[in-house]
Structure 1
Amino acid sequence: MSQNNPSQTQPTTAPDQNQSQNQNPAQNPSTNNTAPGGNVLRLPGGSGMGGDPPTLDPANTSDVESATYIVEIFSGLVGFNKDLKIVPDLAEKWDVSNDGKTYTFTLRQDAKFHDGRPVTAQDVKYSLERAADPRTRSTVSPLYLGDIVGFMDKYTGKANEVSGVQVLDNYTVQIDIDKPISYFLAALAHPTSYIVDKFNVESGEQPWYLKPNGTGPFKLIQWDQGQQIVLEKNADYYGDIKPSVDRIEFLLGGGSAMTRYENGDLDATRVSIADIERVSDPASPLNKELSIDPQLSTSFIVFNTRKAPFDDPKVRMAFAMSIDRQKLNDVVFKKMPVVATGILPQAFPGFNQDLKGIPFDPEGAKKLLAESKYASGLPDIVWSTVGGGGTAGSDVQAIAEMLKENLGANISVEQTDWATYLSQINGTNVDFQLFDIGWSADYVDPHNFIGLLFRGGSLNNWSGYDNPVVNQLIDDASVEPNLDKRIQEYQQAEEKILQDAPVLPLTYGRDFWLTKPYVKGAFYPPLVIERLKYITLDK
């Protein structure tokens, strides 16, 4: 799912994301590790970036910030455990037909919505059909559920129901898919397939998800825009691991998250570039509370192939070869992420350790530009990015300067808020010319990157890239039963994509978090999964 680049954003609970944070560590020689009263966990908003989520509607989940809450409030037929393995959730078991195209799910009979109503197969059918309903306006549901027979017919208004979802009895539902894709269960774990309560959705409350009746381990009890989101333990949660913390407060406003952490007002916080050097110092008391966790995410610069001058592959490659990613990572990002060599992140199935990636070669870039149809001069370039106005992020400024120095590119920057930005890049008519975005894995399969982001016609194909050879490789890999051959086909597609340069992979993500010693069981997974039910407070 889409991810705002955490390396370029200050993790703060205030609207001003460039606020300075404890620049003089001598003023704060120690951190307050006194546990507060009550069984209450206090965290910075969402994934640690602060700010309100764009939505809490599962069917419209396209970003990490929204998903961070949604996976705690709602649940689906299947989910991921801490080891990122697919496990039963609302479904206690499932059977798969010999041809791999029919899945029969048996629901657990102890699962209830937060108001106590049992979850039934009718709720499953309603939720999946709602995700396909054109009135829901989901730009992401076809990416994860489009292989269900009849899903796209309803999505495009050609049918009134999804024929491939059938209720067999109150606790049994059958789902037919049009081809035997190996990643269907993993895709079904994405929030867009989560179960919602029809009576809640159609209550007339606008938007309904401000008072969601979910099934997850926590309930939403308060959302004060720009200030805080509060979750409360679901005492009737059906899962084997019950939530321990009574209340979780996500602080969206009120100043620097790092300052609040050091003052004892937050129990964990994401570390920003502004603070990474001092918390990495072994002599700092904060260093003992630091965890560094590789993420299954890649950040990109996207060249919109539908817009001049990026309709010319030589121009795209020239821009890519003009950016010194190593220098950018060392100087601007202070080595927090890892320089990317390809699309698939490290430790991901199919990661190609022999892939060298697009080289930094300014002279070669100039030669390519001279051979392009824009040799006589580049048009003005507008870089679209996330921001609150004022000065653009230091990474955007540094890259724009490299492009000006190496290619003579004249780049202006336009900033917009995260929710608006998402609405502009999801779909097949992206208007941005040049932009930056991250992608965090939804499930551990190469298709989640290669297929969703680069298959022609995909609603998440930001660049508009459409190569018949790559499309065929992706289609073949999606139904290939032999794992080694699947990996080989995705790697071939990845190599071809990089040759065509619709994007420049910049970095692979790493999360840096500080966590108070009394917070037990906290972990920071490489993709968005429910994790708060594992936490206890040792007071």
Structure 2
Amino acid sequence: MRHVPPLLTRAAAVGVALVTLSVAAACGSSGGDDSAGGGNASGGGKFDPAKCQGGTLYVLNQKDITHLDPARLYTSGGGNIPSLLFRTLTTRNRAGGAEGAKVVPDLATNTGVASDDAKTWTYTLRGDLKFSDGSKITSKDVKYGIERSFAPELPGGAPYLRDWLSGAADYQGVYKDPAGIKSIETPDDKTIVFHLRKPEGDFPFLATATQFAPVPKAKDTGVKYENKPVSSGPYQVESYQKNKKLVLTRNPHWSRSVDKNRLACPDRVEITSGLDAAVINQRIFTGAGKDANAVTTDTDLGPSELARLGNDPELDKRVAKGHFPFLYYIAFNLKQKPFDDPKIRQAISYAVSRTSVINAVGGTALADPATTFLPAQKSMGYQKYDYFPAGTNGNPAKAKQLLAEAGHPNGITVPLTYVSDSKDGTGPGAATAVQDALKKAGITVKPQGLETDAFYEQTGDPKKEPGMMLFGWGADWPSGFPFLQPIFDGRQIPPQGNYNLAQYDDPKVNAEFDEIAKITDPAQAAKRYGQLDAQLGKQALTVPLYTTKDLVMYGKNVQNAFVSDWTGKYDVAMLSVK
């Protein structure tokens, strides 16, 4: 679960630490002629996956990959660059748009067999799996990889397993407790069984995280393992200079016959880190020399690049478009007055100008107005509603009416806390847009800007939390669970790191989360999450402002650059170069 700005949220989705993006971290159609998930025609000619072998793909990034140890990567869908090195029990479907939001088998033969109301999940591994050193991959390697991710020496991975696995809350990893976790069973080399402490219908989504990548115990060197990890994916590490360059070459024991998910067309992948965002975009735009074979996994287009689009058809063809599910919104603390009064929250909902907020963060090329908490993605259960229609520029008359009904005919003064060093929907531009719109309705906003660390420290502490805040939320995987439960489940209010900013606790809503968790059919679960979102929306617990769009450039020799609803970025495992 991630609350950080899109760029860090996307790190959860692709396994890369990012710096400045206009949008976040999991949706969308893509550029070129790949809107249905196929390849684009850039680089000359129709893309043919059967003939895509060869060449070097260059990845130009601002930040380095966080770690090369699968235990320390916070990923979903298998990651992006990590997916070149590590296979997991399940992974994301390699397709554009909504098709890319589906879970498919990877190391396993299916997405998991659930029993006991989704408290037990059983996986069977394929029989033809090998590591890059030629040794066989077994279920025990998967179990060991998971158990080492609990070691305090290897922090950084997704936190769900400690909470979900039965009896794992206090486990300290294989180095301190080699006996392992009893709730993970490997009755034979091809079978692995997980026993959970409560139903978790989303377990196949979690099984895409790199904690589920196999690690051979005999090759584990602890904290040094990431210097030369043993690969289960299509590539292996040739050389690595942290914060400078990572070079990947083919894993001789991988083939498409044993991995139906990844094309892995280039013979070599070179990832260069430490570059400036403007430099990255300029190099890919120009496409001189090797840069014609270049992409980026952590840099969106900036204002100067956006200004050139629409005027240059050739450049327009080289932009992949998507919608990672990330929402910016106004959050209320219902424990503080006047936000305990639903009429006040409704008045603010009517008063906002989403157009002004979107203009403040870069315009409609980068954002879509939102009136629902769930982003407009089928996989998450989106149901359209707008209970407090503000139009494009706000409805101050209706807001004033509600203020009068709440006993404030002469207006009211409210605080607004935002991130002073941010340029997205939590930053000063968005705060000013909200302030100006509310002023027209007789609502005086007193803004308070905090630097990023101070902001999240204060908003995450229920005792120190402000009354009204600008906030953003993205999903670790494309389902309603990681989007709704951390925000609205009353049992999810810890003393630190709290995201349920409303401090909302309704036993019926909590029970509904538990009931949906028993559902193993993603489509059925999505429908229930959509219904729950529509129910919660009536209470004006938040004011949704906008969801983000992704625009990313790729080199003129790059083909098959489609974007899925899971990552919001093109998939490096599916790219080819001329």
- Which string of whole-angstrom CA distances, capped at 9 and with x for unpartnered residues, describes residues 395-415 of structure 1? 454335445665222213233
Q: Is the 8 A contact 2:284 2:295 kept in 1?
A: yes
How big is the shift at 1:134? 6.3
Q: Which has the higher contact order (CA 8 A, sep 6+)?
A: 2
2:86 to 74, 79, 82: 74
Residues 489 and 172 of structure 1, relative CA distance in 2, 3 Å threshold: closer
Secondary structure class of the residue paired with 2:271? strand
- Which string of whole-angstrom CA distances, capped at 9 and with x for unpartnered residues, describes residues 424-452 of structure 1? 59988696643432414514x32232234
Partner of residue 121, structure 2: 103
Alignment of structure 1 residues 240-251 onto 2, 5 Å: 240=260, 241=262, 243-245=264-266, 246-251=268-273
How big is the shift at 1:532? 1.9
Partner of residue 300, structure 1: 328
2:55 to 19, 31, 39: 39
Q: Which runs of 5+ in 2 are unaligned?
A: 11-16, 23-41, 45-53
AA aligned to 2:56 is V
AA aligned to 1:217 is P
Q: Which runs of 5+ in 1 are unaligned?
A: 19-31
AA aligned to 1:187 is L
1:262 to 285, 295, 314: 285
Secondary structure class of the residue paired with 1:451? helix
Q: Is the 8 A contact 1:296 1:509 kept in 2?
A: yes
Partner of residue 215, structure 1: 232
Partner of residue 5, structure 2: 4
Partner of residue 573, structure 2: 533
Q: Is the 8 A contact 1:473 1:490 kept in 2?
A: no
Partner of residue 26, structure 1: none
Instruction: Determine the C-alpha separation between the residues in 2 that align with 1:125 and 1:109.
Output: 17
TM-score (norm 2): 0.71
Instruction: Determine the C-alpha separation between the residues in 1 that align with 2:148 and 2:18.
Output: 35
1:340 to 370, 373, 380: 370
Partner of residue 141, structure 1: 159
Q: Is the 8 A contact 2:360 2:430 kept in 1?
A: no
How big is the shift at 1:460? 7.3
Instruction: Determine the C-alpha separation between the residues in 2 that align with 1:522 and 1:311.
Output: 46
Instruction: Determine the C-alpha separation between the residues in 2 that align with 1:268 and 1:317.
Output: 44
Instruction: Determine the C-alpha separation between the residues in 2 that align with 1:92 and 1:431.
Output: 48
Instruction: Determine the C-alpha separation between the residues in 2 that align with 1:139 and 1:377.
Output: 45
Instruction: Determine the C-alpha separation between the residues in 2 that align with 1:102 and 1:334.
Output: 46
Q: Is the 8 A contact 2:318 2:554 kept in 1?
A: yes
Instruction: Determine the C-alpha separation between the residues in 2 that align with 1:400 and 1:63.
Output: 36
AA aligned to 1:252 is G
Matched, 1:168 2:197: no
Partner of residue 327, structure 1: 356
Instruction: Determine the C-alpha separation between the residues in 1 that align with 2:529 and 2:347.
Output: 25
Instruction: Determine the C-alpha separation between the residues in 2 that align with 1:138 and 1:430.
Output: 27
AA aligned to 1:303 is A
Instruction: Determine the C-alpha separation between the residues in 2 that align with 1:14 and 1:176.
Output: 35
Residues 280 and 236 of structure 1, relative CA distance in 2, 3 Å threshold: farther
How big is the shift at 1:74? 2.4
Partner of residue 495, structure 1: 534
- Which string of whole-angstrom CA distances, capped at 9 and with x for unpartnered residues, describes residues 30-69 of structure 1? xx989xxx93222342xxxx33455555455557899433
Paired positions, count: 500
Aligned CA RMSD, in angstroms, stands at 4.5
AA aligned to 1:258 is N
Alignment of structure 1 residues 180-191 onto 2, 5 Å: 181-191=200-210
Partner of residue 280, structure 1: 310
- Larger deviation, residues 469-478 vs 449-458: 449-458
Q: Is the 8 A contact 2:320 2:570 kept in 1?
A: no
Q: Is the 8 A contact 1:341 1:505 kept in 2?
A: yes
Instruction: Determine the C-alpha separation between the residues in 2 that align with 1:427 and 1:200.
Output: 40
How big is the shift at 1:340? 1.6
Residues 203 and 124 of structure 1, relative CA distance in 2, 3 Å threshold: same
Instruction: Determine the C-alpha separation between the residues in 2 that align with 1:191 and 1:303.
Output: 32
Instruction: Determine the C-alpha separation between the residues in 2 that align with 1:114 and 1:291.
Output: 32
Residues 91 and 478 of structure 1, relative CA distance in 2, 3 Å threshold: same
Secondary structure class of the residue paired with 1:76? coil
Identity of aligned residues (%): 21
- Larger deviation, residues 311-320 vs 56-65: 56-65
Q: Is the 8 A contact 1:320 1:358 kept in 2?
A: yes
Residues 309 and 53 of structure 1, relative CA distance in 2, 3 Å threshold: farther
Residues 399 and 195 of structure 1, relative CA distance in 2, 3 Å threshold: farther
